[in-house]
Structure 1
Amino acid sequence: MLLFSILFIEPYYSSPKNVITNTIPLVLVYLSVKGSFNHEAAWWVSIGVILFLLAMAILSLALSNQQFSPEAPVNKLSNWLKNLVVMFGQGKVIYSFVFISILFLYKAQIIDPVGDSYMLMMVGLWGGTLLINSKSMHSRFLYGKKKINTDAIGEIFGVQSKKIFLVKLFEDRKSIKKFDVVKFKYSMQDSNEYAIRGVVFDTYLLNQEKWAKVLQLSTDNGNNQTFDKNIVYKVSEKDEREALEKELNIENFVGVIIEGSTIGSVKFEYSKKVDDLQEGDLLELKTGGKRLFYQVVGGTTEFEKLENKNESGFIEGEALQLGEWQNEQLSFQKFGWVPHINTPVFKADTSNIEVQAFKYPEYQLGVIPNTQLPSVINLHDAVSHHLALLGVTGSGKSFLAREIIRELGNDTKVICVDFTGEWRKEIEALALTKDNINDFLTGDEHTTGLIELPVMSNTVEVIAATERLFSTIFDSAKAAYDADDPLKICLVLEEAHTIVPESNFLGVNNWDSKAIVNKMGQIALQGRKYGVGLMVIAQRTANVSKTVLTQCNTIVCFQAFDETSFIFLSNYIGGSLVQALPNLNKYHAVVTGKAIRANIPMIVNLERKV
């Protein structure tokens, strides 16, 4: 029995179960030889020691509770009893105790004698067996030799799509909270040479137990030999924790990619340390070796089914792909694939991107909210292919129009048609009439002209006067084009619903008026060829000529609320950004089109620092 215990069990195991295996046969042996003892007290002492070890082994197993951490009092007691019974109950010790006690009792003539030769043979066999392993037996009793990691918080019981680990927290470690940094080794990982580093993504209460979701963010090849597999350890040492939080970018962590994501847009489960994410904010993630940017366009509340009728609520965010930033082009390059599920998403930090300088006709409309990345428009393309500024009153249309007009003064004749009388207060412009308009177009003294019409209604007189003006401008541009000296002209149509109304919104009901509007639409269609472009400024798309609007290949749309505008704009910016229009902040706009350097629609902050 001694040989079997040493050679086949204890080199690999050392637990109370082995002690039970060793003591039960001895109890049976002592019961069978009770009659050989001359003094019954000696038999009771011997079997009492064995029964004590058996009882302590069973008790140590009974006290062990996997629902608590190793530092729990009940597990501490269980561990102490385990060390005690393993030290005295292992094969070498307990069988040696029996052998020596029998030898002593034999010499004391307390038990029936046996032959001396047999006794000598047994002593030799016992001594040889002990030499098989010279490891000190006392090391088993030293509590604390194997230091228990007091940072153990729970045990892994499931995995979701490789990067998310489900952890059942120990009963006395339920104070764990979101965004705590953790380390662990997973039993199915490729190598035992590294530990996984991550963050507590979320916590749940289920069936009187606390669960946690742990997200893998990186790996650590340092000294992690003390980690038990599938046990998760909290990083509690302050310096290490702060260094890891900075390295893992915990402050900017936003969430993880979830199901329903596509190449053009992703959905993510939102979980941020500081709840400050807003529509229009820029996000980043890494996939395929590239740093991709996405822009937040929406968020909804959802439920996740846990077990039976248990559910957990979370916020599902949506972000449109902008792509990889191309500094030389001052724009984004689309990436042609979808990120993996549970890919970490972070709030973008663009401070390490040095934006290269640019000059006219490139013009910075604004920046992507909370970043330094610019939204750049080519003003030549904006004018030649027509520009529309749309949005409710007070959203910033006229302010942006005035800035663009000043920039266009470098090489373009700008003519503003004004019904309100406000433009002459805001810009320096020559008052134009039919007598000086040709001189204005061909001269160098003035770059901006202003035509003020006396009424603000779409009467036949107003429409006819505007049509004659456009015809004069168009004819001058055509003549200059034919003479190989083309002009660059931008017509600014403030309150466009008055100048180029949709036929259904005409103030007069006769076919002559409709024919005039159609003729103006034809000028808009053909004017680009001769260097005449439009800047259309309107509050709603419903009452502006669609013939004119559909020729505007660059759109800057501020806050809007009417359904007609949503339907029209959805063809340009898509349904997700249309839903964002009512919630846009003041001086924020959705920009898209040929003149915008970015090749996709996006939300831009147009505020100016004073």
Structure 2
Amino acid sequence: MEKLKFYLSNRFILFIFLSCLLVIVNYLFTGFFLPNTETKDIWFYSGLFMVLFSILFIEPFYSSPKNVITNAIPLILVFISIKTSFKNLTLWWCFLCSLVLLIILSIGAMALSQEDESQESTRNKIAHKLKAIAVIAGQGKVIYSAVFLAILFSYKSELIETVSDTYFFTLIILWGLILLINTKKIHNNFIFQETATSTTSIGEIFSVQSNKMFLIKLFENKKNLENFDLVKFRYQMDKGINTVNEGFIFDTYNLNRTKWAKVYTLNQKTEEKSKLKLNTVYHITEQNEIDQLNEQLKIEGFIGVIIEGSKIGNIKFEYSKKRNDLQEGDLLELYVGETKVYYQVIGGYTNSEKLEFKDESGFIEGEAMQLGVWNNETISFEKFGWVPAMNTSIFIADTEDIEIKDFELPEYKLGVIPKTNLPSVINLDDAVSHHIALLGVTGAGKSFLAMEIIKELLNNTKVICIDFTGEWKKMLADLNPVSIIDAEGLPVVETQIAKKENLASTKNPDKTELIKLRDSIQKKLEDYVSKYIDSQDNLALFEIPELSNTTFILEFTQYFIEAIFKYAKSHPGQKICLVLEEAHTIVPETNFLGDLGDYGSSKALVSKMSQIALQGRKYGVGLMVIAQRTANVSKTVLTQCNTIICFQAFDETSFTFLGNYIGKDLVQTLPNLKKYHAVVTGKAVKTNIPMIVNLKREIPEPPEE
């Protein structure tokens, strides 16, 4: 039964069958296989034949004012030639005028239509109405039916008299049967195969953009599809005829007043005796199949596909996500061959694609930086040396099945890649010995992270915080820091420094006295430093009473740092970390020294302090530099910080400086970083690749900086 329906819906077989039926009917009633040469016989049979031919071969493919003119002009010429055969000239004039009117309407519709104007314009509205009237009235089955019926009824009495009324009504029935043909269900195939129901077919493959991306032209009644609706189809160029592609609607757009869709395939399977018609795309509507495929194809995690302009280190992708929740810093995954490679989102841009005529398709273009392949043994990413192919599928990274192995000091979990469990691990020994810088605006989380690191360092390192504001004394209160210089000793040191400054400012200072004062100050500070480092305490504060770039502050700090280095030189193996909060005050860039009176002397002091800081790692003394703007801090010191943690920043000077460390692309992410998110890179980081890390801990937030 199915095969019979299949063959009877073939347009060629149907045409042959009905044509033969007409011949048989004529023979049964007249004794002749073909009509005689009388005008009436030729025309009502020709009319019936043209109705059949038009329904099967013309109207399924064409329907426009041009086709109406093509149908009408030959009929006008014929009607003129057979005018004398009509007994009723009124009927003849009615037909002739109707055909002329159809031609006028069709020409008017084409003349008024303007592609460069809106469809809502008056001209296009009129053109659309004229076209609708002309196309409906000018269809082959309408005007040829009119010819058939006009001739048939004109000779009704003669037909009934010479043949029989049965013959007359048989012709009417044949005409009705031809009109009942459903053009949407007829096809051109001669090989029988069971096909899926036409109700789920949504369009036909028009072109192939890659082995995974197909462009389909949607059927007129299937324009309500949405992105991520699941589909399946068989494609004639696949290796096996039983190969079924499963995927989803990637995007839809209008082109030349027609609805189109991009279909992206994520899976292929073999399905014996598939009911899917070749090159026809079918909408998956059964809920069980939808749920199963959504899980199997990971639709919820799909992000987009690789597009032109991708490189080994950075990829570009056309963004398409079921839920629009992708953010900067999110981790992505894709496969290059059999290798899973991770990328981190660093940017997103709106873009448009030019189609034909004036049509455009808008989309979001994302950018991600390669982190590499995850190595669970080394707890780090390793760079991968190739670029993914065009249209490679990208997913939000799923890291739940990765079990992170345990590690201990000096390895320290700085944070995690946003929305994953993959840690960013640094070696605290390397971080301190080769200096670490925490940069970013106030309130971004610098002091919070500094305190977390200090807590870990206290296990094996002497930490000294140089505190200008008194804030560190409050923040570190729970850790019970000690003051290197006690309340009674600080005024004595300050007095001696002030005395030395006054003596140095005189016209002819006594150099011997100056040396004595300097040595005395140095000796007192060395005693304080030795007392602290030799004690059981691991956290101390070096408090300075003022916050300004004066020679007094700089010299006081210089003596103190010199005392630390002198101790370190004589006690090899002792690890000391100096925390320089508000670093621009301690090691300022020379352009920001301010009005210090003797500018040359102040500059020399800063240079000397920078030189001392640079030599510190030889003796186990490291720096933790905390600053808001790189422009204000000595570049000599900053360039020696081999580990950089950069929080949110806005100033161009910071962008220029940090671009050498983290790259120009990643610098653009700094203004958009969330609180406690930072770009991390450097020698101490296990993955020596710049990346965005979430540094937040699940503890109450500390006071604002």
- Normalised TM-score (structure 2): 0.69
Between the aligned partners of 1:319 and 1:404, the Cα distance in structure 2 is 29
2:195 touches 2:276 (CA, 8 Å); kept in 1?
Answer: no
Pair 144,360 (structure 1): closer, same or farther in 2 beyond 3 Å: closer
CA offset digits 1:61-86 (Å, max 9, x no partner): 4454699xxxxxxxxxxxxx9xxxxx
TM-aligned CA deviation for residue 201 of structure 1: 0.4
Query: Of residues 404, 412, 425 in structure 1, which corresponds to 2:453?
Result: 404
Kindly provide the amino acid, as one letter, of the partner of residue 211 in structure 2: K
Do the aligned partners of residues 537 and 46 (structure 1) sit closer, same or farther apart at CA in structure 2, a change above 3 Å counting? same
- 1:150 is aligned to 199
Q: Output the CA distance in 1 between the equivalents of 2:590 and 2:29.
A: 120
* Residue equivalent to 2:538: 447
Seen in structure 2, the aligned counterparts of structure 1 residues 269 and 66 have a Cα distance that, compared at 3 Å, is farther
Q: Give the secondary-structure state (helix, strand or coil) at the position aligned to 1:398.
A: helix
User: How far off is 1:453 after superposition?
Assistant: 0.3
Q: Which structure's residues are more often helix, by fraction?
A: 2
Q: 1:563 to 1:164 in 2, by over 3 A?
A: same
CA distance in 2: counterparts of 1:294 and 1:273, whole angstroms: 20
Q: Does 1:502 align with 2:602?
A: no
2:612 aligns with one of 515, 523, 544: 523
Contact 2:203 2:219 in 1 (8 A): yes
- Cα drift, residue 59 of structure 1: 2.8
| Kept in 2: contact 1:23–1:53 (CA 8 A) | no
Contact 1:16 1:57 in 2 (8 A): no
Secondary structure of the 1:436 match is: helix
Match of 2:577 among 474, 482, 490: 490
CA contact (8 A) 1:23 1:54 kept: no
SS for the counterpart of 2:632 is coil
Identity of aligned residues (%): 56
The residue type paired with residue 675 of structure 2 is K
8 A Cα contact 1:281 1:296, kept in partner: yes
Please state if 1:193 is matched with 2:242. yes
Deviation of the 1:525 alpha carbon:
1.6
> Does residue 476 of structure 1 match 2:567?
yes
Alpha carbons of structure 1 residues 564 and 17: separation in structure 2 relative to 1, 3 Å: same
CA contact (8 A) 2:24 2:33 kept: no
Matched, 1:43 2:95: no
Deviations 1:282-338 (A, max 9, x none): 111111211111111111111101112211111111110111111111111111011
**Mapping of residues 252-267 of structure 1, within 5 Å:** 252-267=301-316
Whole-angstrom distance in 1 between the partners of 2:685 and 2:264: 38
8 Å CA contact retained: 2:305, 2:317: yes
Identify which of 540, 544, 548 aligns with 2:629: 540
Separation in 1 of the partners of 2:420 and 2:195? 51
* Pairing of 1:116-195 with structure 2 (within 5 A): 148-195=197-244
Quote the residue 1:430 is aligned against.
482
Q: Distance in 2 between matches of 1:512 and 1:602?
A: 41
CA distance in 1 between partners of 2:547 and 2:452 (Å): 24
Residue in structure 2 matched with residue 86 of structure 1 by the alignment: none
Change (3 A) 1:316 1:66: farther
Give 3-state SS (helix, strand or coil) of 1:228's partner: coil
Cα offset, 1:18, TM superposition: 4.5
Which aligned pairs between 1:188-227 and structure 2 lie closer than 5 A?
Answer: 188-223=237-272, 225-227=274-276
Q: SS where residue 461 of structure 1 aligns?
A: helix
TM-score by length of 1: 0.79
- Candidates 316, 341, 345, aligned match of 1:296: 345
- Residue ranges of structure 1 left out of the alignment (5+ in a row): 1-11, 68-80, 82-139
SS in 2 for 1:547: helix
Q: Indicate whether 1:600 and 2:684 are aligned.
A: no
For residues 55 and 555 of structure 1, the distance between their equivalents in structure 2, rounded to whole angstroms, comes to 81
Match of 2:360 among 288, 308, 311: 311
Return the alpha-carbon distance in structure 2 between the equivalents of residues 272 and 557 of structure 1: 30
> Which secondary structure does the structure 2 equivalent of 1:359 belong to?
coil
User: Residue type of the partner of 1:227?
Assistant: L
Residue number among 375, 381, 391 corresponding to 1:332 in the alignment: 381
Distance 1:595 1:331 in 2: 12
SS of equivalent to 2:630: coil
Question: How far off is 1:14 after superposition?
Answer: 8.4
Paired residues of 2:23 and 2:33 also in contact (CA < 8 A): no
Q: Which amino acid aligns with 1:450?
A: L
Gaps of 5+ in 2: 1-6, 64-140, 142-188, 486-524, 700-705
Asked whether the 8 Å contact 2:196–2:277 carries over to 1, the reply is no
In structure 2, give the amino acid aligned to 1:413: K
> Residue 458 of structure 1: which of 546, 549, 561 is its match?
549
Count of aligned pairs between the two proteins: 516
1:586 corresponds to 2:675? yes
Map of 2:135 onto structure 1: none
Question: Alpha-carbon deviations, 1:217-270, whole Å to 9, x = none?
Answer: 111223462111111111111101110011111111111111111000101111
The answer to which of 428-437 and 369-378 deviates more is 428-437
Supply the AA of the counterpart residue of 1:527. G
Q: Indicate the RMSD between aligned Cα atoms, in angstroms.
A: 2.9
**1:560 pairs with 2:649:** yes
Question: How far apart are the structure 2 equivalents of 1:279 and 1:156?
Answer: 36
Question: 2:226 and 2:18 mapped to 1: Cα distance?
Answer: 46
Q: Which amino acid aligns with 2:482?
A: L
Worse overlay, 293-302 or 350-359: 350-359
Native 8 Å contact 1:185 1:196 kept in 2: yes
Letter in 2 for 1:442: D
Q: Distance in 1 between matches of 2:441 and 2:261?
A: 47
